[in-house]
Amino acid sequence: MRIILLLGGARSGKSSLAVEMARQRGGKVLFVATAEPCDEEMKRRISAHRKSRPGGWRLLEAPLNIANEIGKNIGTSKTVIIDCITLLVNNIFEKYGEKATSGTLEKAIESEINALLDGAEKSPATFIIVSNEVGLGIVPADSVSRLYRDLLGRANQMLAARADEVYFLVAGLPVTIKNTLQDVDS
């Protein structure tokens, strides 16, 4: 078991690095996509992402309950890519709607992330998890956007705390934030 977290801004190269890491590992790959094609732009993005992946990889589209879905579909995969937590958190927001309280959303997100991490830690596969870092920009103007930013930040912290490796991508270049495997070798 190994968990790798790739963080960065939009178009920083996270997904490309995840694909390259999986290619280098070889073996069977399960690609877990959390995006839903809700508009034309998202449909184009999903199509472009599909074209960038090797044809032999299995695709699992799981907008929610990803730990359960991965458990049912992982098979003998050597690597699992989850792209991305940013959209998973958005999907949870959409599921609960505007009437949800911050406490309800926080519990739902923590439950989803903990289930994912628990499953990853029990699996022999390497999990490569992609998420956006959204806490570096300006403070969002409305309360819902601020809540989203805060809860995604909390999800990223949970992932980073239990990950073996964490990389922050800037202009396509990965910067090592955490590498417990390297620390053991030193």
Tell me, what CATH number does 173's domain have? 3.40.50.300
Known catalytic membership, residue 64: no
**Number of domains, the chain:** 1
Judge residue 13's burial from the number of C-beta atoms within 10 Å of its C-beta, 0-12 exposed, 13-18 middle, 19 or more buried.
middle
Amino acid code (one letter) for 49: H
Give the count of alpha carbons within 13 A of 96, CB side only.
Answer: 18
Q: pLDDT digits over 127-168, tens only?
A: 999 999 998 888 989 999 999 999 999 999 999 999 999 999
pLDDT digits (tens, 9 = 90+) for 81-104: 999 999 999 999 999 987 788 899
Structural domain of 103: 2-185
Q: What is the pLDDT of residues 17-66, one digit of tens each?
A: 999 999 999 999 999 999 887 788 877 877 777 777 777 899 999 999 99
Annotated catalytic residue, options 13, 25, 28, 49: 49
Stretch 108-131: mean pLDDT, rounded? 98
- pTM, entire model: 0.92
Label the pairing between strands 165-170 and 79-83: unpaired
Question: What is the per-residue pLDDT for 135?
Answer: 86
Contact 71, 119 (CB under 8 A): yes
Q: Output the pLDDT for position 184.
A: 54
